[in-house]
Each structure stands twice: as structure tokens, then as C-alpha cells.
A and B are shown apart, each in its own frame.
Chain A
Amino acid sequence: MGISRPALGLYLTATYPSVRHFIEVLNGVRGLVDFLEIGIPTGNPKYDGPIIRMTHRSAELKGLEAVKVINDYSKYSKAPVLMGYAADYIDSLNEVASVARSVNAVSVLFPDLLFDYPELIDKYVRVMEDSGLRPSFFISSKTPYKLVKRLSEYNPLFIYLGLYAATGIKLPIYVEQNVTTIRGIVGDTFLVVGFAVNSPDMVKSLIKAGADGVVVGTAFIQRMSNLESALSLLKWLRGGLP
């Protein structure tokens, strides 16, 4: 159970903008993406940028209920992953894991785990493994090398490097340099990168710099009111994969 290399991933917030539309999008993206990240709608998506924050606010259902509208995410992509804020589930990691398992997700990614609950990393890994899931980790470009190395030793599904300060907002950062630096630390761990990805050139240079997978979120969501245009974005981005 892993993700093929190189890969294009898509981030969606569950039941945004509505249950019906969310399912329609999932049906549409089948075959166009190699993995899916399904956001669990939360009231406090603090590490996300303005567009994805808006999707959390506007999702039709909230919390794990939103995720459960689909009973088998593996119909839509080989490696569906749930993404939630650990702050919401600090006392119920097991429950998230069992929901993930029940909808055939392969991991649960918590973007705030390292920043806010670094002392819970081992517990998180145990919960994932006990539930038949694999751990995955979110890091920023400034994550300590020793910790990045340690994460890679947990045999995670992937390590996700956030390229910018928040989703969807580009800054003049040499993201390729950061990807190459992190690649040098994680060995052959599957390295996913994302935040503000919006062109095949960007996909191409990120893969060249050492990423195995590239995730698109904000750029897709901005086009979601017109499914055709959103899907053609994915086809266009795939053109950046080698």
C-alpha cells in the first residue's frame, strides 16, 4: 500500500460546497489523480490560507460526519488520506482512525501535529498502526533536521512538505531549494509537496527538485463552481509529471 511515483494529488474539503457537489467532484476526478486528501471540516483551520479556510466554513457537514458521506474513498483514488486538525481529536485519535479505516482511507494527516503536539508523535504512530493505517506527517521548510529524519524512520506513507507559509499564498521562496534540502534528509521516503501549486511548470520543477508527489488544492477549489474547468486544470497539471 503506497503511492506510485511521480504522483499528482488533490486536496478537497469534505462536503464543500455541498454533499452533492462534493460527490460529483469525486466522481469527476477518478483517474485524474493518484491520491486524494480529504479535509475533515473544522472550525479552526489555522494553518490554512484564506480559500481553504473558506471551504471549512462553508462545508455542508462538519467534522467526521462530513467524511462519512462516502463509504469507500478507494473508488476514487488508490490512496485516499484524511486530513484533520489534531486539536479537534486530541482525545479521540482512535475514533478518527476507525472512521478513516471504515471509509477505506489509508492514513490520517494532521498538519498541526508537529507544531502543537510534538509529544504525541509516538502515540499518533501507534494509533495509525493499530488501526491498520500508515502514519503520514506534515512538515514546514524549517522543521529540525533531526526530527525530519526521525519521521522518515517511522516508515510513513509520506512526508508532506508545505512549500509556503499557508495554503494558497505564494511567497518569493526558493521552494525547489527547500525540497532538495528535505529530500536529502528523508532518504527514499515518499515526499509530497504542496501549497499554491498552480501550473505544470511548477509541478515539473518540484518533481525535478526531489518531490515524489505534488498536491493541488486552492487552485482547484477556485474553479470548482465549473467542474469542467476544474478537471481540465488537473489534466493540465498532469502534463508537468515526467
Chain B
Amino acid sequence: MAEGWSTMTNVPTHWYNIAVDLPKPLPPPIDPYEGESRIALLNRIMPSELLHQEFTALRYVPIPEEVRDIYARLGRPTPLRRARGLERLIGNGVKIYYKFEGALPGGSHKLNTAVPQVYYAFKDGAKEVATETGAGQWGLAVSIASALIGVKATIFMTKSSFMSKRQRVLFMRTYGATVYPSPSEVTKYGIEALKANPNHPGSLGLAISEAIDYTLQGEGRRYIPGSVLEFVLMHQTVIGQEAIEQIPEEPDLIVGCVGGGSNFAGLTYPFIGARLRGEGFERTRFLAVESKAAPKLTQGRYEYDFPDSGGLLPMIRMLTLGHNYVPPPSHAAGLRYHGAAPSLSLLVREGIVEARAYTQEEALEAGVLFARSEGIVPAPESSHAIRAVIDEARKMPKGSVILFNLSGHGLLDPDAYERVS
């Protein structure tokens, strides 16, 4: 471990597994009745430690020292800041704090799980990791983690983003990754999708299928997912654990945006867990904000569905719009996903987490207000959370406290802001 410049004191030592504190049991993943066992397939595609973590009975899972060390080198703990400019703009005495995950070198929270996932793939002897990405935040995080740990990264990026987010493609390549637009010509799922629609904009569900198919085509490859699976959410809980230490007062409201649920869970689960165990935060509300382009929390059905459009992964019980749902292209590409993680779906169903959907225009307007009042251009995904923060703050009494997750910065998303600013 490096000495002198990195003190590990504030980097959490464990990830938090909310499953053991939920009000109801999480239904297990299942196989469909047709075809090969998807559960058995997991053995061939995923790093083994991650499979253990998906089914662990531990409440607190230890973070390996090597991973904590990289967390610290990359800038964990991330800052918790007071949004005084935004508070002034709203002007009713509501206090707003945010956790700034955009401070990590990838510009988003995604490194929190990219690092352990690539680390465990490397531990398994993998030479290469493959994955999907929407806006490219996840792909960029995997590219960085892979460069640091010493494995090759291959990224399938939804085509609409591949075209509009060229800088992220270039940065992924700068870190040494190979990036394909999805649908691509390198997997049968991509080829089929292109045949059906040559102008297919791509979807995260399809990109997942491509990454898995690619993993199966070669030796020494491992597939790693960017969201939705429970271990991904668990890795993100470093955010909330730090926030509990950092925040000087108990929040009345905690807000995050939701693609698959990982940054939302990362910030809120340590708080929700404490509440479920009767250890505080009884009056805190939790608000999950999604895009109207993919409104699974507000309009989805709670049922077993595939996490990927190709149906290669086991089915999970979640709020879903159906695995064949192709969301309209949106600047918040990270929110263009048909389902929400099983634990988050369950918490929404139980009424512990509230949900709301915004259009991208509504979100980006709020993003501009935030940029002009706080000096940070938010990721379009995070702008959805900011929109909800502003709307809620206006209704709350003076002295109320809001905490939200600024899951990423938007410095590589100028295309999104072009039209609203």
C-alpha cells in the first residue's frame, strides 16, 4: 500500500447488504422454463466472488484492502457539500446537501463498483472484462479500473450515445479500452437487431446481451454488470456510509436518480437500513427519480423479467417495463433501462421509497440552474434528482434538510445542455 499521501481512515471498511434488513425476503433469481439454465451460465461469465456476494448472508461484507487502497487513490471519501447557491435561489431556508460522486476521475459513482468487479475478475485469472454502457459513464469507469488493475476492457456502448458522446468514447480508448457501438457486428444479438432495424438506437438491455455473448466467445473473459444486480448496489453503499459520517444533521429527504438503481441505493441504503433496524432516520423520506423515457418505478409491473433483452441472464423479480422495451433516445442515457434492481423494486412496493418520473427537459432545466448556482454542470442523469430536489424544497418548511446524490458531472455531456441553455 502506498504510504504518506493516502490515509485510509475514512474509506469504509465494509459494503452494506440491505437484503438482510428488508421488510420482506428478496425473491431469488430464477431460470425461465425454456432453454439452457441461465443460473448455470453465471459460472462461465461472472467473477466468482461477485456470485458469492450476490447470495451472501452477511450484513457487512469486508472490502479487500487492495480495493480500499484504490478507492482512496481515486479520491474516496468523496466530498459532501452544501449547495448554498441553490439554497439561495430557492430562497425558503431549506438546506441542501449533496454527495459529489462526480469528483471521482471517471466523473461518476460507477468507479465504486468497477474497481472491485475488475479486481475480482483479475483474481479469477481473467485477462479481459466485457461490459455494456449507456452514456459511457460505466464504460469509462471500467476502462479506468481495468487500466489500474491491468486487464483489457471491451465496452459495448448504446449506439445513440456512441454517436453523441464521442469524448467519452475517446477517453475510454485513452485508458486502453476497445469500444463498440451496440448493436454491433461482433455478436449475434447485435447482428439480429441491425437486421430488424438498421437504425436501431441501441438499448442497455441489448448491450448487456452483446457483452455476455462476447464474453462467451473467448477464453479468459469475464462479464461485469454496471447496475441492477444486488452486489453492484452493495458496492455503491460506500457513498451512503460516508454520507452518514459526513452530514451534520439528519436529512428529512434523500433523493437520487435511478437507471438500474445503483447510485440511488448507494446513497440511501445505509440510511434505509438504519431505519429498518430501528436505529434512526424514522422521519427521513426517500425519493427515487427516474426518466419518463423509462418509467419502470412509476409504471412498471412487478414480475420476473430478464435484466437483458437477449434473455441470457437469469430472471429477477423487479419493477419492469419488459425486457424488450426500447426507450426513446435520451440525453440521460444512464436512465434508459427497463427495470430497477430487485431490492429497490421491493422498497418501492413497500412504500419505503417514493418514486417520480421527469422528462429530460424538466431535468436539464434544473441541471442548468444547478450549474449556474453551484458551478458544477451535473450529469443529465443526476439532473433528474436535482429537479426533484428543487420541486420538493419549494414545498418544504424552513430549516428542512435535503440530501441528494450528484452521481456524476456533465462535462462530457455538452450535447445534452445545448438545447436548454
Which residues of A are at the interface with B, using a C-beta cutoff of 8 A? 46-47, 49-50, 53, 114-116, 118, 139-147, 162, 164-166, 169-174, 177-178, 181-182
Contact = CB atoms under 8 A, between A and B. Distances in A.
Nearest to B22: A144
A142 B53 CA distance: 10
Contacts of A169: 37, 39-40
Contact of B55 (A46, A115, A147, A165): A165
Given A172-B43, A173-B51, A141 B56 contact: yes
B391 interface: no
A147 B21 CA distance: 9
B412 interface: no
Top 4 nearest A-B pairs by Cβ distance? A172-B48, A142-B19, A181-B57, A178-B57
Given A118-B25, A140-B25, A144-B23, A166 B30 contact: yes
Interface residues of B, number: 32
Contacts, number: 94
A71 B22 CA distance: 42
A171 B28 contact: no
Nearest to A139: B25
Given A142-B230, A166-B37, 13 more contacts: A140-B25, A141-B55, A142-B28, A144-B23, A145-B21, A147-B25, A166-B30, A171-B42, A172-B49, A172-B52, A173-B56, A181-B57, A182-B57
A183 to B, nearest CB: 10
B301 to A, nearest CB: 15
23 contacts: A115-B28, A116-B27, A118-B24, A140-B28, A140-B55, A141-B55, A142-B56, A142-B57, A143-B25, A144-B21, A144-B22, A144-B24, A145-B20, A165-B29, A165-B55, A165-B314, A166-B30, A166-B37, A171-B42, A171-B43, A172-B49, A173-B52, A182-B57
**Would you call the interface of chain B mostly helix, strand, loop, or mixed?**
loop
Nearest to A113: B25
Nearest to A140: B28
Nearest to B315: A46
A142 B25 contact: yes
Interface in B25-72: 25-31, 33, 37, 39-40, 42-43, 48-49, 51-52, 55-59
A118 B33 CA distance: 24
A141 B57 contact: yes
Contacts of B48: 172
Nearest to A46: B30
B55 A144 contact: no
A177 B58 contact: yes
A69 B32 CA distance: 31
Interface string B169-188: 00000000000000000000
A169 B304 CA distance: 19
Contacts of B33: 53
B31 A49 contact: yes
